[in-house]
Amino acid sequence: MLYSVLIYASEAVAAARSRQDDEALLARHLALQRELAAEGRLGAVVRLMPTTTATTVRGTNQSMVIDGPFIETKEQLLGLYLVECATLEEAIETARRIGQCCRTPDSGALEIRPVSWSRLDVPRGEAP
Amino acid sequence: MTDLSWIDPLLSAARPQAMGALLRYFRDLDTAEEAFQEACLRAVRRWPVNGPPRDPAAWLILVGRNYALDEVRRRSRHESLPDEAAISHTEDAEMEMAERLDNSHYRDDILRLLFVCCHPELPVTQQIALALRIVSGLTVKEIARAFLVSESAMEQRITRAKRRIAAADVPFEAPGPQARAERVATVSAMIYLLFNEGYAASGGESHVRAALCEEAIRLARLLLRLFPGEPEVMGLTALLLLQHARLDARLDASGNIVLLEDQDRGLWNREMIAEGLVLTEKALRHGRPGPYQVQAAIAAVHAQAARPEDTAWAEIDRLYAMLETMQPSPVVTLNRAVAVAKLRGPEAALQMIEPLAAKLSGYFHFFGVKGALLMQLDRPDEARVAFDKAIALANTPAEAAHIRMHIERLLERHAARSAPPSAAAQATTALPTGRGSAG
C-alpha cells in the first residue's frame, strides 16, 4: 500500500538552523530518497514553502480568502513523502528513517497516513 | 545524546517570544536579557536529560522569570539562592503551568521587543545593532565584525543604546490598531535598513555581510508570521528574498561586482525567487500597494526574465513611476532612468537624471549611471569626469574597481579610435549599456 509520511515541525526552529545544518539535513534526505528509490518504493517527495506563503480558502461557497495557514499550530506541515510499504510496521520503520534525516528531538512529529488513491503526474517540480 | 547542536535552533526560535514576554514582566532590557541567558543555561543542562519541553518559549519565560524574581529577592535580602537541585525540582513541577501560560500577548510582546530597538532617538546603526543583539541574539563580537568596529566599541554602542531606551518612555500597554500599524511600519524600515547594510556591502567581508541579509530575512519572516495578512510585510519579505536570491551571482571569483545584466542567472537561488514571487502576488491581491510591494514587484520582473534581453523594461518603468509618486526620491528617479535608457535611449535617461545632480552630488551610483549613459552617447570626456567622481565616492574597493573597468574600456575605445573602423565598432558593442548599480 502507498503511505504518506507527513513531516510536522516548528518552522521557526527550521528557520533558526544555520545554513550548514540545513544543507546537511538536505543531504541526509537526498541519501534516504536514493535508498528508497533503489528499493523501488519512493512515490514522491514534497517540501512545502513556509506557512507565510499559504493562502486559505474557506467558507461554504469558498468565498473567503485568508492569508496564512488553515490553523495556527506550534508545529507546521513542512513536507511529505509518499512511500510504498507492505505493512504498517514497515511504514513506521520508514517514518523512523525519515525522522533520522530530520533529527528533530524537539517537538517535531511524523504522521503516517495511508493513501487512498493518488495521481502522481506532477507537471513541474523543481529538484533540489 | 552527546551532540547538542539541536538545542541552538530551539533557543534561537524561542528567543523573540521569550525575550518579549520577559521585557513585558520586567520592563527593563538588561533584566530581561539576564533572565533569558540564565534560562538558556539551564535549558542546556536540563533538556538533554529530560528531553525538550513541548513549548520551549513558555519554559524559558517561566524559568527566566523565576530566576529574575529570585535574583531581585536575593539582592534585597542579601541571601543566597537555594541550591541548584531545589530550583530544578520546582522547574519540573511548574512545567505544567508553563503550558498554560497566557499566549495571547505574544504577538504584541514580539512587536514591542522589535519596536524598542527602533526608538527614534537612536541613530539607525544603533537600532540595527540593538535588534541584532536583543532580538536575533547575535554576540557583540559577531555584530562588531559586521560593522567593522572593535568589540569594545560595539559593546559601548549597545550599552549606550540600552541606556537611552531605559530613559525614554516605552509604552507597555497593548497598542491600538493605529499604533500597532505604526510599529509594524517602523520595524519594517529597520529590517529593510539591516538588509541594505548587508546588501550594499559598505565594507567588510562578504560572508559576514551575507549573514546580515539572512538575519534581516529571518526578522521579516518573523514579522510576517505575526501579521500574515499585512501586504507591506509580505512585500518586504518578498523584496528581501528576491534580492538575496542573486547573492552568488553578484560578485565574480575575484570579488568584482557583476552587473545584473551580466550575471549568470543559473546562480540565482530558485527557491528564494519562487517564495518571493508567491509573496509578491499574494500581497498585490490585496489592492493596497505600498513601497515595499512595488519594489518587490520590480525585483520580481527582473527575476522572471530568463535572459537580460527578456526583461520587461516597460513594466519596470511603470513600477518606478508608481514608486516615485508613493515615495518621491532622487534615488528612485535615478533607478527609473536606467529603465528609461532601455526603453527610449540614453539621451532621454540623461535628461531625466540631470536635474538630480545637486541632490545626488555625493552619491556613487549617480555618477556611475551618468558615466555609463555618457559613454553610450559617445561623450567620453564627460564620461571620464563622471567616473572619476564615482571612484572618489565609492564605498568599497569592489565599487571602485568596477568603475575603473569602465574607464579602461573608455581608454581602449579611445585607443581604438586610431585603429581601423572595424575594431572601433567592436569596442563600441562591448560597452555596457546602463545600470551603474550592482544587480
B68-87 residue pLDDT tens? 998 878 877 765 555 554 44
- Of the three residues B103, B126, B147, the one that is the final residue of a domain is B103
Domain membership flag for residue A126: no
B133: in domain:
no
Q: Quick one: pLDDT at residue B99?
A: 45
User: Does any domain span residue A125?
Assistant: no
Q: How far apart are the first and last CA of chain B?
A: 46
B93: confidence class by pLDDT, cuts 50, 70, 90: very low
Q: How far is it, in rounded angstroms, from Cα B235 to Cα B213?
A: 16
Neighbours of B318 (CB within 10 A): 17
Task: Using an 8 Å CB-CB cutoff, list chain A residues near B274.
Answer: 49, 126
Interchain CB distance below 8 Å, B221 and A53: no
**Residue A66 near chain B (CB below 8 Å):** yes
pLDDT in tens, B330-352: 999 999 999 999 999 999 999 99
Distance from CA of A13 to the nearest CA of B (A): 5
Distance from CA of B162 to the nearest CA of A (A): 25
- The domain boundary, picked from B103, B132, B163, lies at B103
Q: Which helix (H) or strand (E) holds B369?
A: helix B364-376
Indicate yes or no: CB of B9 within 8 angstroms of CB of A103. no
CB distance A13–B10 less than 8 Å?
Answer: yes
Q: State percent of chain B over pLDDT 90.
A: 60
Number of domains in chain A: 1
Burial of B264 (0-12, 13-18, 19+ CB in 10 A): exposed
Last residue of one domain, picked from the residues B39, B70, B103 = B103
Q: What is the DSSP letter of A49?
A: P
Q: Is residue B369 part of a domain?
A: yes
Most distant pair of Cα atoms in chain B: their distance: 93
Under an 8 A CB cutoff, do A126 and B274 touch?
yes
| B5 in reach of chain A (CB within 8 A) | yes
Are B277 and B235 contacting, i.e. CB atoms less than 8 angstroms apart? no
Q: Is B288 near chain A, with CB under 8 Å?
A: no
* Mean pLDDT calculated for residue range A48-69: 87
* Mean pLDDT, chain B, whole residue set: 85
CB B101 within 8 A of CB B62: yes
| Mean pLDDT for the stretch of residues B10-20 | 94
| CATH classification at residue A30 | 3.30.70.1060
Q: Considering the domain boundaries, does residue B383 fall inside one?
A: yes
Q: Does B13 touch chain A (CB under 8 A)?
A: yes
Would the CB atoms of A53 and B51 count as touching at under 8 Å? no
Count of structural domains within chain B: 2
Contact A14 B9 (CB under 8 A): yes
- Chain A with chain B: Cβ pairs closer than 8 A: 70
Q: Which residue has the higher pLDDT, B77 or B310?
A: B310
Domain that holds residue B339: 329-439
CB-CB neighbors (< 8 A) of A14 in chain B: 9
Which CATH number characterizes residue B427's domain? 1.25.40
In terms of residue numbers, what domain contains A89?
2-114
Ranked by mean pLDDT, which of A20-29, B95-104, B207-216 comes out on top?
A: A20-29
Contacts of B237 in chain A (CB under 8 A): 52
Q: Does B197 have pLDDT greater than 60?
A: yes
Closest partner residue to A74 (CB to CB) among B10, B55, B285 is B55
Q: Is residue A89 part of a domain?
A: yes
**Contact between chains at B214 and A19 (C-beta distance less than 8 A):** yes
| B52 in reach of chain A (CB within 8 A) | yes
Longest dimension (CA), chain A: 45
Q: For residue A77, what is the enclosing H or E element?
A: strand A76-84
Q: Does B172 touch chain A (CB under 8 A)?
A: no
For residue B409, pLDDT beyond 50: yes
Q: Complex ipTM, two decimals?
A: 0.88
B234 close contact with A: CB closer than 8 A: yes
- What mean pLDDT comes out for the span B305-324? 96
Give the per-residue pLDDT at B429.
Answer: 33
Q: Give yes or no for residue B146 having a pLDDT over 90.
A: no
Whether A39 has its CB under 8 Å from any CB of chain B: the answer is: no
* Chain B residues close to A51, C-beta within 8 Å: 225, 228
Q: Is B223 exposed, middle or buried (0-12, 13-18, 19+ CB in 10 A)?
A: buried
Measure in Å the smallest separation between the Cα of B334 and chain A Cα atoms: 32
For the cut 60, the answer to whether the pLDDT of residue B101 exceeds it is no
Percentage of chain B beyond pLDDT 70 is 86
Span B90-94, average pLDDT: 49
What residues have CB less than 8 Å from B408, skipping those under 6 apart? none
- Domain contains B159: no
Considering only residues B386 and B259, tell me which one the structure prediction assigns the higher pLDDT: B386
The whole-number pLDDT of residue B433 equals 33
Any CB–CB contact under 8 A between A68 and chain B?
Answer: yes
A50 touches chain B (CB under 8 A): yes
Give, as one character, the DSSP assignment of residue B257: B
B214 touches chain A (CB under 8 A): yes
Q: Which of B40, B49, B282 would best serve as a mutation to test chain A binding (most A beta carbons within 10 A)?
A: B282
Minimum Cα–Cα distance from B215: chain A residue: A16
Cβ neighbours of B73 (radius 10 Å) = 11
Most confident residue range from B157-166, B198-207, B301-310: B301-310
B115 in a domain, yes or no? Answer: no
Q: Which of B138-142, B149-153, B381-385, B428-432 has the lowest mean pLDDT?
A: B428-432
For residue B15, pLDDT over 80 is answered with: yes
User: Do residue A106 and residue B52 have CB atoms under 8 angstroms apart?
Assistant: yes
- pLDDT at position B1, please? 45
For chain A, what is the mean pLDDT? 88
| Chain B residues touching residue A127 (CB < 8 angstroms) | none
pLDDT of residue B100 exceeding 50: no
- pLDDT of residue B268 exceeding 60: yes
B100 backbone φψ class: left, alpha, beta (φ>0; ψ -120 to 50): alpha
Q: Which residues in chain B are contacts of A106 at CB distance < 8 A?
A: 6, 10, 52, 56
